[in-house]
Amino acid sequence: MRGLVAVIELLNEGGTVPFIARYRKEATGNLDEVQIRDIEEKLAYFRDLVARRETILASILEQGKLTGELKARIEATLDKSELEDLYMPYRPKRRTKATIAREKGLEPLAIYLMAQEAGEQPLAVLAAGFVNAEKEVNSVEEALEGARHIVAEMLSEDADLRKALRQLMFDEGVIVSRKAMDAVDEQEKFKMYYEYREPVKTIPSHRMLAVRRGESESVLYFLIELEPPRALGVMRGRVLRREGDWTGQLELAIEDAWKRLLNPSIQGELRLELKKRSDTDAIQVFRENLHHLLLAPPAGPISILGIDPGLRTGCKVAVVDETGKFLANDVLYLHTSKNAADGAARVLEKLLVEHNVRAIAIGNGTASRETDAFVRDFLRERRLDTIFSVTVSESGASIYSASDIARQEFPDLDLTVRGAISIARRLQDPLSELVKVDPKSIGVGQYQHDVDQRQLQQSLETVIETCVNRVGVDLNTSSWTLLRYVSGITERTALNIVSYRNEHGQFRSRAELNKVTGIGAKTFEQAAGFLRIRNGENPLDMTAVHPESYGVVEEIARSLDAPVGELISRPELLAKVDAKQLSAGTYTLKDILEELRKPGRDPRDKFVAPSFSETVREFADVQPEMVLEGVVTNVTKFGAFVDIGVHQDGLVHISELSNRFIKDPSEAVKAGQIVKVKVLSADAKSKRIALSMKTLMGPAQRAPREAAKKPEISMSDKLNLLATKWKVS
């Protein structure tokens, strides 16, 4: 609990999640970034709840209806739905049947029915006293009908009853989807949902999103079915206390309340809740895919030639040096004539020699396989064994090419050349290049255009922030588009850093950051540890050791009678460190020693190029039983898509991912992973390829999963306990 309180205090002081997770472990008890983000999200939830609660209390108080009991219930709840249920009877509402009945003076009759206590007169006689032609109550039945409308509304506004019925519909309700009348579904995308039923409680997010998309495209409509006797039984059990002449009227009011008010209202709430649940699951899938994609192994600081393949207009080519700087561009015409390949080979050879190219990156769009085959043949014929070629995903490259960022970088270049540069840089350093592209355009995730766009954008921003700060950023070579994701640095500050660098030359130390406009003590504290300076004045500036801990490193150096630089060049000296003699905390010291042993080490895996089959270049080449190598391009809740080099990704259904039971495809594969697959089928008409991994997967091939830390009490439960203790004030 102490770590939880510390995180909240650090967040309130302006600390970022990456900074707190990395450099405040002593205070938080070594909570990881996932746990700290959970705290941050819950904190935002509770703050919204507090603001809404204050508004509700003020509204009810203004109406003169705020009792001590109601105030206590409102202040005690930590659930937004329950809060709105409590407010419902006091919320300003449109004119209803119950409102009209109250205007006719029938509320005392409704109160009599709800009280269920025999009076001096029978109900019929009592009701007759409310007959009044001037108020348009012309008969006993009209009086009773009006009273029932009031009772029905009272039941529909009962917070406890709504909560019980909402839970019942969640537990026992069934999603029922049907094809809309006269709907057009040419490709039959939603065929499986034309007559479909699945329990609310268990329907997976991807199927719920598919049904919702079908409804938004006017192909499907869906509703939530709940057996009326079950709902009416719950209502009777809570409303009817004793038999009397009021019982029949209450029975009618209960049926009316369910059919006219509660069922539609709770269906709407549950539909919204299902959307939120599906959105959250879909966004989490997107987050995981983006995380793996951004942390894909980089080819590293080598000169690369990027090719944006094309048929009629030729293949646009761009060369970048080891820092990503643009050097040259040209066009390879491979398909315009029989002898075109000879001219293209001469252009390619010239560029490779002039710029000492080490790798060739080929976009995976139209004409990709033909271009890849040409490049491979070219390298083999000329025995250029030191140069390798790789097919790179070009998803989002066209979006980047036309963006303001691309225009700022290359104002004088054509869009297609910018695309080729981006393809080359994606191989060199995927993280640095992909941060320039809207994540929704990268081609991972499921139903990303159907989910809450604000929530999606915020969530993906946190993934990028996490990845950038985990890897670290070179202060002297990184673009402002990458620097803006460093802890504590805004877009404006990132631009100021680049302007300062352009005016004064390379940074020689982290301390020099303080001279940049917009960087004060707090920003420096948050950012400095994630920024790297190679060959600077202080060797520690190339490490993840925070400047605030440089004194600890100097203590270590003095205890070993060695200069700081020697600790980095001779990490074996660190084995003699006596932790008890140092002032740093356990977690901080452990991180410092690990960093000194491997200073500035990139946490990403080593780059390995996938090898597509030379015999499979187009869809027609794909045959059942083939075993191929491919790259996982996308992981969804129902399976994984794999690029096998034919412009059409194949699907490995979740049931074909592993020879052991898995609940989620992410347990077996991750985006960017190189895998072997077996072709189950290839349907040319529907352009669908079914693949399997489980027949080829041995224990060693299973993708390792990062072990999640499981606290004794979940972080959400801890936050709820803390919120209850503090009343979220």
**Higher pLDDT, residue 54 or 576:** 54
The answer to whether the predicted template modeling score (pTM) of the entire model surpasses 0.85 is: no
Average model confidence (pLDDT) across the chain: 90
Rounded average pLDDT over 638-656: 88
6 has a pLDDT exceeding 90 = yes
Give pLDDT, residue 705: 43
Residue type, 430: P
Q: Each residue of 380-438: pLDDT tens digit?
A: 899 998 999 988 888 888 899 999 999 999 999 999 999 999 999 999 999 999 999 88
Torsion of CA 201, 204, 210, 211, to 10 degrees: -10
Give pLDDT, residue 713: 54
Residue 365's pLDDT band, with cuts at 50, 70 and 90, is confident
Tokens at 641, concatenated:
């898509």
Q: Each residue of 676-729: pLDDT tens digit?
A: 999 999 988 778 899 999 877 654 444 444 434 444 555 556 556 555 554 544
| Rounded Cα gap, residues 660 and 53, in angstroms | 48
Q: Each residue of 612-643: pLDDT tens digit?
A: 777 787 788 889 999 998 889 889 888 999 98
The fraction of the chain above a pLDDT of 90, given in percent, is 68
* Least reliable range by pLDDT among 122-136, 141-155, 513-527, 567-581: 567-581
Structural domains of the chain, ranges and CATH numbers in brackets? 2-90+713-726 (1.10.10.650), 304-428 (3.30.420.140), 619-697 (2.40.50.140)
For the purposes of burial, counting CB atoms within 10 Å of the CB of 511, is it exposed (0-12), middle (13-18) or buried (19 or more)? middle
DSSP alpha helix (H) spans, 561-690: 564-569, 586-597
| Rounded Cα gap, residues 120 and 252, in angstroms | 23
Give pLDDT, residue 724: 52
3-state secondary structure of 338: coil
Tokens at 145, concatenated:
């009908």
Burial letters 626-638, b for 16+ CB under 10 A, else e: bebebbbbbbbbb
Q: Closest Cα to residue 435, out of 463, 404, 398? A: 463
| Rounded Cα gap, residues 718 and 696, in angstroms | 43
What are the DSSP calls for 109-158, one per residue?
Answer: HHHHHHHT---SS-HHHHHHTT-BGGGTB-SHHHHHHHHHHHHHHHHHT-
27 Cβ neighbours under 8 A, 6+ residues apart = 3, 6, 7, 10
Tokens at 129, concatenated:
């006293």
The fraction of the chain above a pLDDT of 70, given in percent, is 95
